[in-house]
Structure 1
Amino acid sequence: MAYPLGLHLLIRPLLTGPGTHPLTAAATLALALATLLRNNRLGTALAAMVLALMLLRLFLAEPSGPWLAALTPFPQALAKLNALGHSVALGELTALSLAASAAALLCYQAFRLTLSQLLAAFSLAVPQVAIVGYALGLNRFHGETSLTTVSMVIPLAMAILLCSAHRGGLRALLSPRVGGRVARLQLLLGFSIPFLTGFLLVNTVQHSPDLSLGILIVTVSQATVVLITVSAILYDQVDLGRRRYQRQLELLATKDALTLTYNRYALERRADQELARFHRHGPPLSALLVDIDHFKVINDTYGHGVGDLVLQRLAALMRSHCRCQDMVARWGGEEFVLLLPDTALEAAAQAAEKLRRLIAETDFSEQGVGLPVHISIGCAQLMANESFSDQLRRADAALYSAKRQGRNQVVCAEPSRPSLRQA
């Protein structure tokens, strides 16, 4: 509306500078409408029309040629404005930016999102050239691009760019994660530091030309150091968070949630390591299979909630009773396995007896159990040419013997491999 109303300040903000051509305003308005209607055929038609017009300006028509003059709205208002001073024309930079924006919108409608982002980013680079020219007083940079045109083209290109914010590089750039924050910081520094460097050079070269090269070298080197340092700090924070999250995952994968002892998977992994060490160096390896006597009675009498508390207290007692190299794992239900590296059968039986007495002397009334809690333990030492499963079978047979002999006792497995007890 600036042309019909005669608002020359909006058309040409600087009295001696370039102005916004009516075709520029019309094309920008058409692309804005096409962006709103980007999923409609009308939006496609508007974008294609603007692209054809801008290509005509770039390759076939002169800025003041008859083709453009015939298509230009408000020709009389434009003629009056040109008579006041610097002529207003559709510059090449403006046409290039609008053509890139129209092509980006067409690529978006054709589901070529990566190409759409690249074209929209390029359309932003063109007004950036004009901004640098105005800021640094370089008239040849901004050419025929007015400040009003810049203020229209940049939001338009940003709107087209954000249409595909959910895909590709733009999604990574806008990500709330640390990688996105690092990228945004690098982008900010990548724009601001060269701009400030250019500002210093332009002002320095007028007074001391010899200092301009030195300022350029120092500024660029220090900016590189700052950028690398900040990126290293942020990436270190990312790596620290990743390691912390990895440890949490490992904990969830290897620990029993109820008793906080190791689970069966972690026990089998540790057993494989100890078995390999046994075959290389031959240190003794013993295992204790622990079962709570009459645990079903506890669950039936006091409820499963109390039974869970008993399991937790028992697991805590076993962990406190073991050495740092020993491993306590929940085998299933009310059964636990204690893996004792560097421990012969006799020493394992003594440790098992101490554990049995400890449990028998513990008061479980705080857990809501009015009855004494007892355990039965089967002990087995790993034999030559024997797997960990074979060792546990012998420990299970010894545990079954302890149950048959009255429970609340420790029984050591025979060296020979017994048959499996019936379920």
Structure 2
Amino acid sequence: MLLGPPGQQRWRITQSLIGLGGYLALVLLLWLVSRGEAALLDRARVLPPMLAMGLAGLLGYALMRSGVNRRLALRCGCEPSLTLPQTLVGVLLTTWLYTVTGQARGAVLALLAVVVMFSMFALQRRQALVLAGVALVMLAAVMRAMTLADPFRYRAEVEAVHLGVTALVLIGVTLLSLRMARLRQRLRDQRTALARALEKLSEIATRDELTGLPNRRAMGELLLTETARHARLKAPLSLALIDIDHFKQINDRLGHAAGDAVLRGFAQRIEAELRGADVMARWGGEEFLLLLPGTGAEPALQAVERLRESLRQQPFDRVEPGLRITFSAGVGSCLGQGDIDSAIERADRALYRAKAAGRDRSELA
């Protein structure tokens, strides 16, 4: 209930709770050092910033826990953690606290560095520089105002030292955070490159490079999946072995580049005609395997015949003007989960019969 459901938003809520805990710890510390006769601070003066800090921490948590931060991010285009506005509020409250802590104000400067440091790792380079600049300008303005309002307690030379030391700390924190940001970006780029490389390797492992179709390995895995589904649902399952007619003659007469173009064009044209559930893979050389889930033997034969007739009407003019490509096919049905190899063998025998009968035809196993 406190952190919400798992995910990125939970991380943001956790961060807001850490901020709230920091504010409450500071409020407790201020309350302790402002009690009793020997108090270091005037409770009446520190009470307003104490209350403001507590409310700021609660507001940050409420924004995250209610999901308002995500709606603001969508509407304004800001990052969902609202890091920059929360940090600016923290800087404002810290500089306010500096004006009421008197002789203990040196400790507030360390707090300012912590507030800025807490946000640096979530900000972009420009935002980090702007935040550091704003913090220094606000602190310098407050110091100047206090030296004019109370020169005895806030001596100009002491404030100058405080400002100089704070500037050095903030500059160091900013430079370190920018370096860390570059390292994080480099890691993100490396992760992205690795993910792309893995995706490419996966594609190489499952796709035929020339035609872009699934390769034999990928089709083997798909056959196992589909036959398991076939057995579970008692649905029909057919496949067809397809061989491009006279492909060797095309290679010998026109060259291997033309043969590659024929294979690519064949794959593209057949794939464009397939039904939604059908899948074709390059089985080897000029041979392809077509999987037809949910289709019985006769409808599968009709589907292959439709593909064959469609291909005959599309000349491969880019390879050679007037060149027409035909194929022979053997169609078979899978009878069970352990029947994959047998079904392929039956389709192969039917393909052989189609070739022996003159090619450009389909035979049913």
Q: What corresponds to 1:252 in structure 2?
A: 204
CA distance in 1, matches of 2:276, 2:184: 36
Among residues 201, 210, 214, which one is paired with 2:104 in the alignment?
Answer: 210
> Closer, same or farther in 2 for the Cα pair 1:310/1:374, shift >3 Å?
same
- 2:119 aligns with 225
Superposition TM-score, scaled by structure 1 size: 0.46
* Matching residue of 1:331: 283
Between the aligned partners of 2:310 and 2:199, the Cα distance in structure 1 is 33
> Aligned to 2:289, what secondary structure does the other structure show?
strand
Which residue, 277, 292, 297 being the options, matches 1:345?
297
Which amino acid in structure 1 is aligned with residue 191 of structure 2?
D
User: Which residue of the other structure, out of 224, 231, 235, is the alignment partner of 1:279?
Assistant: 231
Alignment partners' CA distance in 1, 2:339 and 2:321 = 39
CA contact (8 A) 1:263 1:331 kept: yes
Structure possessing the higher radius of gyration over alpha carbons: 1
CA-CA distance at 1:271 after TM superposition: 1.4
The count of aligned residue pairs is 212
SS in structure 1 at match of 2:211 = coil
SS of 1:251 mapped into structure 2: helix
User: Unaligned stretches of 5+ in structure 2?
Assistant: 1-93, 125-180
How far apart, CA to CA, are the structure 1 residues paired with 2:118 and 2:232?
A: 53
- Deviation track 1:188-235 (CA, whole Å, cap 9, x = no partner) reads xxxxxxxxxxxx99xx89x94433334423432441332256659735
Matches within 5 A, 1:124-203: none
1:303 aligns with 2:255: yes
1:300 CA displacement? 1.9
- Structure 1 residue 393 displacement after superposition: 0.8
TM-score by length of 2: 0.52
Unaligned runs of 5+ in 1: 1-199, 414-423
Shift of 1:292: 0.8
Identity %: 35
Equivalent residues in 2 for 1:52-71 (5 A)?
none
Match of 1:45 in 2: none
* CA deviation after TM superposition for structure 1 residue 295, in Å: 1.3
Task: Name the SS of the counterpart of 2:363 in structure 1.
Answer: strand
Q: In 1, Cα distance between the equivalents of 2:230 and 2:115?
A: 58
Query: Within 2, Cα distance between the matches of 1:334 and 1:218?
Result: 72
- Contact in 2 for aligned 1:293/1:374 (Cα 8 Å): yes
Is 1:403 aligned to 2:355, yes or no? yes
Do structure 1's residue 292 and structure 2's residue 186 form an aligned pair?
no
Task: Name the structure 1 match of 2:309.
Answer: 357
Shift of 1:243: 2.2
Counterpart CA distance in 2 for 1:240 and 1:278 is: 38
User: CA 1:221–1:403 in 2, change beyond 3 Å: closer, same or farther?
Assistant: same
Amino acid corresponding to residue 279 of structure 2 in structure 1: M
Q: Is the 8 A contact 2:228 2:337 kept in 1?
A: no
Looking at structure 1, the residues matched to 264 and 209 of structure 2 have their Cα atoms a distance apart, in angstroms, of 10
Deviations 1:232-290 (A, max 9, x none): 97355443333222211111121111111111111112112212222322322221111
Deviates more, 1:299-308 or 1:289-298: 299-308
Q: 1:219 to 1:264 in 2, by over 3 A?
A: same
Give yes or no for contact 1:302–1:369 (8 Å, CA) kept in 2: no
Q: Hey, what's the Cα distance between the residues in 2 that align with 1:266 and 1:385?
A: 17
SS at match of 1:355: helix
Is structure 2 residue 320 aligned with structure 1 residue 368?
yes
Q: Once the two structures are superposed, what CA deviation does each residue of 1:345-386 show, in whole Å capped at 9, x if it has no partner?
A: 222112101110011111112212654321011111210253
Q: Distance in 2 between matches of 1:385 and 1:270?
A: 12
1-side partners of 2:278 and 2:106: how far apart?
70
Pair 1:314 & 2:208 matched: no
Q: How far apart, in 2, do the equivalents of 1:343 and 1:233 lie?
A: 52
- SS in structure 2 of the partner of residue 366 of structure 1: coil
SS in 1 for 2:252: helix
- AA paired with 1:300? D
CA distance in 1, matches of 2:290, 2:106: 74
Q: Which of 242, 247, 253 in structure 1 is aligned with 2:194?
A: 242
**1:329 touches 1:338 (CA, 8 Å); kept in 2?**
yes
CA contact (8 A) 2:224 2:337 kept: no
Secondary structure of the equivalent of 2:118? helix
* Compared CA separation, residues 335 and 257, structure 1 to 2 (3 A): same
Distance 1:208 1:267 in 2: 77
Q: Deviations over 1:316-336 (max 9, x none)?
A: 111111134322211111101
Match of 1:86 in 2: none
Cα 1:209/1:405, change in 2 over 3 Å: farther
